[in-house]
Amino acid sequence: MTIFNFTRRAAIAASAALMIAGPSYAGGHQVVESIHFLIPGGAGGGWDGTARGIGEALRRSGLVEKVSYENLSGGGGGRAIARLIETADRQQNTLLISSTPIVVRSLQGIFPQSFRDLRVIGSVIADYTAVLVRADSPHQDFNSLAASYKRDPRSVKIAGGSVRGSTDHFVVAKAMQLAGGNPRSIVYVAYDGGGKAMAGLLTGECDALSTGLSEAIEMHRAGEARILAITAPQRLVELPDVRTLTETGLPLNFANWRGFFAAPGLTEKRYQQMVNTVEAVVETSEFEEIRSRNGWSRLQLSDQAFYDYLEQQEQEIGELMRQLGYLQNVK
């Protein structure tokens, strides 16, 4: 963890104040006057929480003077991507938050664009998948939930904050397959964002929820829900009481990256400024505080390294989805 000393913090704040007059620098990083976060899902979901968390860290650290947010749901995230591309000349200060679904939904043809149609900025965190139930649920571990599913798949409704075939869907389907169930029999109830999916769980509309750990951690800590298992390779320091799927005998490790993209046609100077700003924020104590609070794991990849990572993930996830029957052909 990097702690900013007073001198650097003061320099960042002063540079931000001078941004109107032209480019300013602090600690070797060009300071941005404002960043607008475009969030392709509803409030309370993983994209929303990550964008607002990163925005908070940028503002509090002084790297950015002003941040704003816009939630634009629709088309499995495709509506926001289309907006960014169609209005690219007016989006010089915009960062689109996205994650593994930009790969998944492009493979499925839910929207025609892919990450290749945007300027790849960088990833910042990885969020493990959590499977949770209400606090009053009879299921105390994932194997109990899987046993009920194997007896009668239609008796176990599983909520998710994204469309069918998304990571929320196929990760829990893969876990059920490893437990001996039919992954294609999942009764998956899709909601617009993790907040609505959590509400669906707590009101009894569904029996379990598959979602990002950061969307589940507060309800678990508050005692309103119980996380049965997570897809981390080992238990997390932040949640020492929560078991991994691997511990239950189901070797499934999965982390959903979250990162940022910019509009096509962004000038090279502006592109490098955005890359540098995202790289800088993950080195701040403000980011570390927010990361720990949300149970995120750090995953910093920038520019070409992030692009290469996305291409590799496209191949790996495409093959997994084909095995589960969610794709007929892999791009």
DSSP for 147-189 reads: HHHHH-GGG-EEEESS-TTSHHHHHHHHHHHHTTS-GGG-EEE
pLDDT in the model for residue 327: 76
Residue for token digits 């007016």? Answer: 90
pLDDT digits (tens, 9 = 90+) for 248-268: 999 998 989 999 999 998 999
Distance CA 180, CA 251 (A): 13
What tokens does 273 get? 């400024």
Mean predicted lDDT score pLDDT of the chain: 88
Residue 76 has pLDDT above 90, yes or no: no
- Name the pLDDT band for 28 (thresholds 50, 70, 90): low
What tokens does 140 get? 């105390």
Angle between helices 213-222 and 46-61 (to 10 degrees): 90
Stretch 201-213: mean pLDDT: 96
Distance CA 78, CA 254 (A): 23
Q: Which secondary-structure segment (H or E) carries 215?
A: helix 213-222
- Domains, in order of start, for the chain: 6-125+257-323 (3.40.190.150), 128-230 (3.40.190.10)
- Name the pLDDT band for 328 (thresholds 50, 70, 90): low
Stretch 97-110: mean pLDDT: 90
Residue 1 has pLDDT above 60, yes or no: no
For 23-37, 139-153, 286-300, which range has the lowest pLDDT when averaged over its residues?
A: 23-37
pLDDT digits (tens, 9 = 90+) for 35-65: 999 999 988 888 999 999 999 999 999 999 9
pLDDT in the model for residue 90: 94
Is 252 within 8 Å of 267 (Cβ atoms)?
no
CA–CA distances in Å: residue 43 to residues 28, 52, 125, 161, 313: 34, 10, 19, 11, 27
Stretch 232-261: mean pLDDT: 93
Residue 11 has pLDDT above 60, yes or no: no
Residue 19 has pLDDT above 80, yes or no: no
Is 117 within 8 Å of 82 (Cβ atoms)?
no
Residue 326 has pLDDT above 70, yes or no: yes
Residue 179 has pLDDT above 90, yes or no: yes
Q: What are the φ and ψ backbone dihedral angles of 53, each rounded to 5 degrees?
A: -65, -45
Report the Cα 286 to chain-centroid distance in Å: 19
- Name the pLDDT band for 82 (thresholds 50, 70, 90): very high
**Per-range mean pLDDT, top range of 38-42, 223-227, 264-268, 291-295:** 223-227
What tokens does 46 get? 């993983």
Is 280 within 8 Å of 63 (Cβ atoms)?
yes
pLDDT in the model for residue 325: 79
User: Identity (one letter) of the amino acid at 276?
Assistant: N
Distance CA 323, CA 280 (A): 39
Compute how many other C-beta atoms are within 10 angstroms of the C-beta atom of residue 118. Answer: 21
Residue 115 has pLDDT above 80, yes or no: yes
CA–CA distances in Å: residue 111 to residues 79, 115, 121, 307: 8, 11, 21, 19
Residue 17 has pLDDT above 80, yes or no: no
Stretch 85-95: mean pLDDT: 96
pLDDT in the model for residue 174: 92
Residue 22 has pLDDT above 90, yes or no: no
pLDDT in the model for residue 14: 38
pLDDT digits (tens, 9 = 90+) for 120-136: 999 999 989 999 999 99
Is 179 within 8 Å of 146 (Cβ atoms)?
yes
Residues 6+ apart with CB under 8 A from 187: 153, 154, 156, 157, 158
- Name the pLDDT band for 105 (thresholds 50, 70, 90): confident
Closest to 107 (Cα-Cα) out of 324, 320, 318, 308: 318
Q: Which secondary-structure segment (H or E) carries 46?
A: helix 46-61
Stretch 239-250: mean pLDDT: 95
